[in-house]
Amino acid sequence: MAGAPARFGKQGILQDKDRTMEYIKQSIFTIKEPTVLSFGKFDGLHRGHELLMGYMAGRKKEQEGLKAVVFTFDIPPKEQVAGAKAKVLTTNQEKVKLFAGAGIDYLIECPFTREIMCMEPEAFIADTVTSLNVKYMVVGTDFRFGHKRRGDYRMLEAFAPQYGYEVKVVEKMQEDGRDISSTFVREEIAAGNMEKANWLLGYEFFVEGKILHGKKMGKSVLGIPTINLLPPEDKLLPPYGVYVTVTEHQGRQYQGITNVGCKPTVGGGNPIGVETHLFGVSEDMYGEEVKVKFLSRVREERKFENLDALKAQMEQDIHYGREYFGTSGETPAGGKGRIPWI
């Protein structure tokens, strides 16, 4: 990477309101502006990253022209090294939108090739600092990089005088005496504890996708219209069941009830899907993108004896959902979840 000309093989400009972020997917890149840089997997931009993002925001305010850069990999390094295929809290596409919303100027999603995997940490520092014009780095105490994970924050500090950058090392943020991490969030989602998972994230856990044509049984047979989307294959999902949700579509928020699972009552072999009934909504959304945000678990998914029993339970779920929004203090936009740092 060092000394290479700017070569953005796959890139894009992503705008969020008044913010613009450049998304780089290339192992050879340069940035001419001075930068403040953070590294990490960033699977789920959660509250554990608050101090990292806050430091970057503070530096940007202090130094005019400074750009905030996040460096991550296109796949988790563990997946490449151990061959372990893991479900992710945020897909790459979702991650791009979150970082854009958090005020990041450049997101570098570097291909985790064998060359990168075997790069010595000293060479990684030299190449990165040169290519990205790094003036400040901010990392956590557990940050590791380079061949065999030999590099750490102490090595970054040792090379700082030579390359002319400053290092900020931040401690882990904790909750219940435990480090806030992607693992912590995963465990809460796996247990269906959406309220706790959302607090750890700092925003509502969500699934995005395009609305597909289903069997239309909800509207034509049960009299309860629904929208259906198939989540990305690598997306982590909460346990099969029914959830109180808010669905975002073209900037508007709709309260509703969502089933995650395979709909066992209406036949076997259904793919894992996310099916949502929106309260008081009848507009056609087929083929359009939506974001379904999960607020609270209602019950597990189960197979009913017949469609009448299924309809009766769905009506109870809808009543529960309406009561939830009426008594929980949640707003129509799904509460206070947000990315608060930048």
pLDDT tens digits, 188-211: 999 999 999 999 999 999 999 999
3-state secondary structure of 159: helix
Position 284 scores a pLDDT of 81
Q: Is the domain of 104 the same as that of 22?
A: yes
Q: Residue 22 pLDDT more than 60?
A: yes
DSSP one-letter code for 202: T
Give the end of a domain, one of 175, 190, 222: 175
Position 213 scores a pLDDT of 78
Q: Is the domain of 100 the same as that of 217?
A: no
Position 6 scores a pLDDT of 29
Position 215 scores a pLDDT of 63
Q: What is the pLDDT of residues 62-116, one digit of tens each?
A: 999 999 999 998 875 555 545 556 789 999 889 888 899 888 999 999 888 888 8
Complete DSSP assignment for 202-223: TS--EEEEEEE----HHHHTSS
Would strands 19-24 and 106-110 be described as parallel, antiparallel, or unpaired? parallel
3-state secondary structure of 37: strand
Q: Is the domain of 33 the same as that of 87?
A: yes
Q: Is the domain of 156 the same as that of 33?
A: yes
Q: Of 148, 137, 91, 106, which is closest to residue 21 (Cα–Cα)?
A: 106
Q: Is the domain of 213 the same as that of 163?
A: no
Tokens coding 187: 């465990």
Domain containing residue 235: CATH number: 2.40.30.30
Which of 15-19, 200-204, 266-270 is most confident? Answer: 200-204
- pTM metric for this prediction: 0.85
Q: Is the domain of 88 the same as that of 220?
A: no
Is residue 338 a part of any domain in this protein? no
**Cα–Cα dist 133/20, whole Å:** 20
Mean pLDDT of 146-155: 94
Number of domains in the chain: 2
Across 218-227, 251-260, 280-289, least confident range: 218-227
Mean pLDDT of 30-59: 91
**Cα–Cα dist 71/125, whole Å:** 12
Tokens coding 320: 């529960």
Q: Is the domain of 21 the same as that of 163?
A: yes
**Cα–Cα dist 21/103, whole Å:** 8
Mean pLDDT of 271-275: 90
Range of the domain at 123: 11-175
Q: Are 18 and 307 in contact (CB under 8 A)?
A: no
Across 25-34, 171-180, 214-223, 325-334, least confident range: 325-334
